[in-house]
Structure 1
Amino acid sequence: MGLSRTLRDAEPFSQFPDDLFAEFEKAAVVKKYPPHIHIFNQHDPPTGYLYVIKEGMVEITAQAPGGVEMVVDYRQEGQFFGGTPIFTGEPYTGGARTVKATDCYLIPEDVLKRAETDYPQIRGYFTRIVLSRVKDLYADIVAEHSNKALTQVEAFPFQKRLSEIMSTPVEVCEPHVSAQQIARQMSEKGVSSLLVTDEFGSPIGIITERDIVAKVVASENVDRRSITAGDIMVPHPYAMSPDRYMYEAMSYMLAHKIKHLPIIDREEAVGIVTMRDVMRFRSQKAMLLVGNVKEALTIEDLVAVSAQTVKVAKTLLSETRSPFETMEILSYIHHSILRRCYEIVLDDMKRQGMTPPDIRFCLFIMGSGGRKEMLLGPDQDNGFIYENFPDSRSEEIDAFFIPFSEKLVHAFARVGYPLCNGEVMVNNPRWRGRLKDWQTRITDWIAVPEPKKVMYSTIFFDFMPLAGDASLCQSLRDFVHRKVPRNTLFLYHMLENDMKHKPPIGLLGRFVVEKGGEHKGQLSLKQAGSVFIVDCVRMFMLEQGIYATTTVERLDELVKLNVLNQETA
């Protein structure tokens, strides 16, 4: 992409005349940067250039107290960075580090300042909009790490992106290379894997030390002189992008039983992450717990794993993680435990000769679980969606799913997820059904919004797939987002349900606490507070016909749509 074409699509340059772009083109130089180097660091003096990315990817970094460097933004082709100090004369408020080999156009300071004479909006853009945005962003990062006793702790690995831990460059070979050459290359480079690429440099396979041993060394029916990389490789390797998080990679690698994960950006291998890379970082309790979940063979194994969640929560909070991040990670762990419990119960059903019917089905989770906002003692809110099988098969389907559902909810309870007092669980026929059955129920909830149906809807609308065919959940979500925005009266009834409750504040400004029972003298932060914020944000989301998982993500989307301003959000 040419410099002029790039800048024409970007603020504040989009309204400038051709002769100014011609001057930029004439003065700019192209500089190549290798992967994983800092183009400049936070607090460095200005280099005198505006950087426009011609090809590649750059991370914008910020340092929290104690020297912890965190990735706060990404810039790719067509985007620019480093312009603010040209007009302010101040040091860089953040660093810029390449994710992979990157080419940049460097526009000199003097050209931009000459342009400023006729187009003062250049200075206004960089000094007002960009600077305030960046300073606010870094202020948030610093505030999150303000506890002096903990500032020397390395940033929690769950927050690290794969671009920060991956090994690069990646060793590659072509499909025709011999096994002997592959072994020599791996030995000389000191690597345990390499990628096989096609003529365009795109990865088409992976070879690990285990593949060499199993398919060459240990095999008696192989001609070791003629077997090639194409014969040995595992085709279509599992991969992730560099902006994904470490905890995602950890779970992904465990789920697929792999120890080497290529990192791919736009069909180009930019790095590789091994299980050893993941495990060498400190604060491994949460990741190890997820690993233990994957390895659990019995319900009792999961009981032992579930008992560790309190310790993990303490670890997360001691490492200066925000409450929102801690909550999402805990939800990820809870989902992993519930999913593994489902697999164990399903396997047990099969061993008893109870074969699942040949239909698509999905176990979904609702409420705080569906929003990824689970804390330490969540109860159960779950259901089943089936594909639209004919009525004649109902008896056959029930013969499997009724006992399966009973076993499932009691297994969940044994692991540590209490039965729902409102019976919002798969063993209640109300929470099982075909896709068309669910569509009928939702239509009825909306058409006749009685208090109990409104209560059901507030739990249900935060649903997400947990196991099985997730496309069934997506089909149902599409139906909800088509149906609800057209029925404002239903949204009014949802609002009215919340308005019946008063904030727990008395006439003199004191908290109104429980008058009796086991919680006498106490205040429920959920039932008397946060539940109404969650409900309010959900109603706005449904009205707009959008989807986002967590309440915070929903607020972000509502700001983008100008439904709420940033201050209100």
Structure 2
Amino acid sequence: MPTNYQPEKFKDLYREFRSGDNLSDRLLIEVFGGSRSPLFFPTVKDRMLALKDARKALDRRLTFLDDHWHKIVTMVRRVDTVHSLDELVDLHRSLNVIAVELFLRHVGVMELHQMITFYRHRITEKVIELVLDRLEKPPCPFAWFNMGSDGRQEQTFFTDQDNALVYEVHGSAEVDAYFKHFADQVVHDLDTAGFALCTGNIMPINDKWRGSYAHWLAEMEEVFSNQVQENLLRVIILMDITYCAGMPEVGEQFINRVHTMIRQHFDALLTMARSAVMSSVALNFFKKFRLERSGEHTGKFNVKLFGWAPLIMTTRVFALKYGIRVTNTVTRLQKLEAGRHFDADFSHDLQRAYLVLTRAKMISQVEAIVSGSKYDYYLDPEVLSDEEREELREALISVENLQKLAYNSFFGGML
């Protein structure tokens, strides 16, 4: 009988069908065809035509990504061969344009973080190399460090300088003078190359962010022991430090010392935790967006200050509490999950929150680029789709949940 089916012919297909491993045609058409799939196809031929259109769209997307990837690889390789700052400026500008184009083609946050951080790291190394070519040989080994979003490998479309400089020889006026001049030159050239001057002056042209290893040890003892507001900010910034250029051994020694200091000064960690817990999130009592009611930002909220930053800060203090030394926020969350300090669902909610909040921050950056206005981290939720607004609201709720956990974990609910 034609309806006497043989089970073995269908077992594997049915298993895929039930597990969802096999993408449906409707989903493929909606994802790659860019249009909503019909409720049903009148004929198999109609289904085939729709899938062919989706395949054409997929081919165009793959061609676009392949073309841009080869451009990125070619430009980053050129960084190693340039001999002038002007060439670096052009390369940085072109790479930034590609990054924005990829974002607007829905390339993900973590992919863009990795790419932008990588090419900016290489450009920074090249700037330092070009400066050293103009100066006499350094009088002693040194290390140049990245901090902030660069230190966390979380770079986006706009960047500024958050750096520190450490060198080995102490007590020599000549050595100090050399590295002061060196820092002046590097900071100036980084600014020219597109790394804006830090408004908080977290740069080695500032004596607080440049010095011998012995000088830094004395400074850190004061900073970690005396928790006034200025010192708290310096401690927080140091917790995201990564080596960039110079001698790796000097970099490793200094970073090890920073982490030893935080273990020895739990009170400094408590001060950071208090600051993280008390940071406001852009939700009101009814879990709706808390927006500016007057002024130039009416109807908007600062997505960095009232969403992204509280998540970064609170994740950081948990990572430090459990001796996790990686600096990237998502990796910190993964390590907290792996160490069973956070359960899987909670960790995944927070990772999703990070991606949503960072994407919102990047959208606000593109809004500024498109409008030709100064970027200030403010986002109008109305520029988002209904689904994106709900994702953003849920992300902020996840941040509040993390703050509540920190409140109980560090202060026993008695802050």
After superposition, residues 344-493 of structure 1 pair within 5 angstroms as: 344-348=130-134, 350=135, 354-357=136-139, 359-387=140-168, 389-391=169-171, 394-493=172-271
- Alignment equivalent of 1:560, drawn from 331, 338, 348: 338
Q: Distance in 2 between matches of 1:438 and 1:287?
A: 38
- Alignment equivalent of 1:342, drawn from 106, 128, 149: 128
Task: Find the counterpart in structure 2 of residue 313 from structure 1.
Answer: 99
| Mapped contact 1:484–1:543 kept (Cα < 8 A) | no
Structure 1 residue 289 and structure 2 residue 75: aligned?
yes
SS of the residue aligned with 1:477?
helix
In the alignment, residue 151 of structure 1 is paired with which amino acid? L
| Mapped contact 1:341–1:411 kept (Cα < 8 A) | yes
Identity of aligned residues (%): 25
In the alignment, residue 309 of structure 1 is paired with which amino acid? L
Structure 1 residue 329 and structure 2 residue 124: aligned?
no
Normalised by the size of structure 1, how large is the TM-score? 0.50
Q: Distance in 2 between matches of 1:469 and 1:503?
A: 41
SS of the residue aligned with 2:300?
coil
Q: Deviation string for 1:238-264 (max 9, x for gaps)?
A: xxxxxxxxxxxxxxxxxxxxxxxxxxx
Q: Deviation string for 1:145-168 (max 9, x for gaps)?
A: 9454453333997xxxxxxxxxxx
| Mapped contact 1:339–1:466 kept (Cα < 8 A) | yes
In the alignment, residue 213 of structure 2 is paired with which amino acid? L
Q: Summarize the Cα distance change of 1:560–1:155 in structure 2 as closer, same or farther, 3 Å threshold.
A: farther
After superposition, residues 522-537 of structure 1 pair within 5 angstroms as: 522-537=300-315
In the alignment, residue 356 of structure 1 is paired with which amino acid? P
| Mapped contact 1:313–1:326 kept (Cα < 8 A) | yes
Quote how far apart the aligned CAs of 1:400 are: 1.0
Quote how far apart the aligned CAs of 1:484 are: 1.8
In the alignment, residue 247 of structure 2 is paired with which amino acid? D
Q: Summarize the Cα distance change of 1:564–1:146 in structure 2 as closer, same or farther, 3 Å threshold.
A: farther
Task: Find the counterpart in structure 2 of residue 208 from structure 1.
Answer: none
The root-mean-square deviation of aligned C-alpha atoms, in Å, is 3.4
Quote how far apart the aligned CAs of 1:499 are: 3.3
Quote how far apart the aligned CAs of 1:539 are: 0.9
SS of the residue aligned with 1:375?
coil
Task: Find the counterpart in structure 1 of residue 58 from structure 2.
Answer: 151
Task: Find the counterpart in structure 1 of residue 279 from structure 2.
Answer: 501
| Mapped contact 1:341–1:412 kept (Cα < 8 A) | yes
Q: Distance in 2 between matches of 1:156 and 1:406?
A: 41
Aligned residues: 314
In the alignment, residue 365 of structure 1 is paired with which amino acid? N
Q: Summarize the Cα distance change of 1:549–1:297 in structure 2 as closer, same or farther, 3 Å threshold.
A: same
Task: Find the counterpart in structure 2 of residue 188 from structure 1.
Answer: none
Quote how far apart the aligned CAs of 1:284 are: 1.6
Quote how far apart the aligned CAs of 1:355 are: 3.5
More displaced stretch, 363-372 vs 535-544: 535-544
Q: Distance in 1 between matches of 2:63 and 2:309?
A: 31
In the alignment, residue 154 of structure 1 is paired with which amino acid? L
In the alignment, residue 347 of structure 1 is paired with which amino acid? D
Unmatched runs of 5 consecutive residues or more in structure 2: 1-7, 35-56, 348-415
Q: Distance in 2 between matches of 1:155 and 1:493?
A: 51
Quote how far apart the aligned CAs of 1:420 are: 0.9
Task: Find the counterpart in structure 1 of residue 327 from structure 2.
Answer: 549
| Mapped contact 1:309–1:376 kept (Cα < 8 A) | no
Quote how far apart the aligned CAs of 1:492 are: 1.4
Q: Distance in 1 between matches of 2:270 and 2:239?
A: 16
Structure 1 residue 300 and structure 2 residue 86: aligned?
yes
Task: Find the counterpart in structure 2 of residue 230 from structure 1.
Answer: none
Q: Deviation string for 1:148-207 (max 9, x for gaps)?
A: 4453333997xxxxxxxxxxxxxxxxxxxxxxxxxxxxxxxxxxxxxxxxxxxxxxxxxx
Structure 1 residue 538 and structure 2 residue 320: aligned?
no
Task: Find the counterpart in structure 2 of residue 187 from structure 1.
Answer: none
Quote how far apart the aligned CAs of 1:445 are: 2.3
Q: Deviation string for 1:367-390 (max 9, x for gaps)?
A: 100011011111110111112x24
Q: Deviation string for 1:303-342 (max 9, x for gaps)?
A: 2122123321134335543211112211111111111111
Relative contact order (C-alpha < 8 Å, sep 6+): which is higher? Answer: 2
In the alignment, residue 541 of structure 1 is paired with which amino acid? A
Q: Summarize the Cα distance change of 1:319–1:291 in structure 2 as closer, same or farther, 3 Å threshold.
A: farther
Normalised by the size of structure 2, how large is the TM-score? 0.67
After superposition, residues 19-34 of structure 1 pair within 5 angstroms as: none
Question: 1 or 2, which has the higher strand percentage?
Answer: 1
